[in-house]
Amino acid sequence: MHRFNEADAGAAEEALLACCGSHRWALRLTAHRPYPDIESLLAAASEASYDLRPADLAEALADESWMPQPLLGMRAPGSQAAHTALRAAHAAYEARFGHVFVVCLEGVAPEEMLDTVLTSIRTRLANDPDEERLIASDELRRIALTRLEHLVATHSEAGAR
């Protein structure tokens, strides 16, 4: 926590943008430092996530599409047919909603990821755009909190060495 609190504003903002691609979110968290503990930082991050405007959410979702990773779930074990179905589901989702599919997979076992992602996409394809925007926003919030927790833990471990 100390390293994050003491980092210059630009470095803190860059680190936060790796957790959530909304500049407004990152600026807000940077501006409210120092945080006494990880719980306070996570609470502030969660609150800032709930306050994302539609443009902020669109910015964060667009940033997710530039992440250097395969389609969500594609590295999970599974048959070729399941992976083909997953690619098709991702494409259908993006065509329907205009942004990448996001779902927090924290705590999901690797062997369950492909089914979890495929089931989630198929279920959420039935949502209307406003409902899906709320769900995507909450999933993005959960992902950002997980990334933020890992970021602070990694920096704490590195500082302790």
CB 29 within 8 A of CB 45: yes
Q: Residue 78: what pLDDT?
A: 65
Token representation of residue 161: 């060495």
Pick the most confident of 4-18, 63-77, 104-118: 4-18
Length of the chain in terms of residues written: 161
- What average pLDDT score do residues 13-40 get? 97
With 70 as the cut, is the pLDDT of residue 18 above it? Answer: yes
Nearest to 55 by CA among 18, 79, 25: 25
Tell me: cis bond preceding 129? Omega within 30 of 0 counts: no
Residue type, 84: T
Q: Residue 75: what pLDDT?
A: 58
Render pLDDT for 32-45 as a digit per residue (tens, 0 to 9).
999 999 999 999 99
3-state DSSP call for residue 69? coil
- What average pLDDT score do residues 101-123 get? 91
pLDDT band at 157 (very low <50, low <70, confident <90, very high): low
Render pLDDT for 65-88 as a digit per residue (tens, 0 to 9).
765 444 555 555 567 788 788 889
Long-range contacts of 151-156 (CB under 8 A, 24+ apart): 151/4, 151/15, 151/18, 151/19, 152/1, 152/4, 152/38, 152/41, 153/38, 155/3, 155/4, 156/1, 156/3
- What average pLDDT score do residues 79-100 get? 90
Average pLDDT value over all residues in the chain: 89
Question: According to DSSP H, which parts of the chain are helical?
Answer: 2-6, 9-17, 23-31, 38-50, 54-65, 80-97, 110-124, 129-160
**Can you tell me the distance from the alpha carbon of 145 to that of 41, in angstroms, rounded to the nearest whole number?**
9
What radius of gyration do the chain's Cα atoms show?
A: 17
- What average pLDDT score do residues 142-155 get? 91
- What average pLDDT score do residues 113-134 get? 94
With 90 as the cut, is the pLDDT of residue 125 above it? Answer: yes
Q: Residue 86: what pLDDT?
A: 86
At residue 148, φ and ψ (nearest 5 deg) are -65, -45
pLDDT band at 21 (very low <50, low <70, confident <90, very high): very high
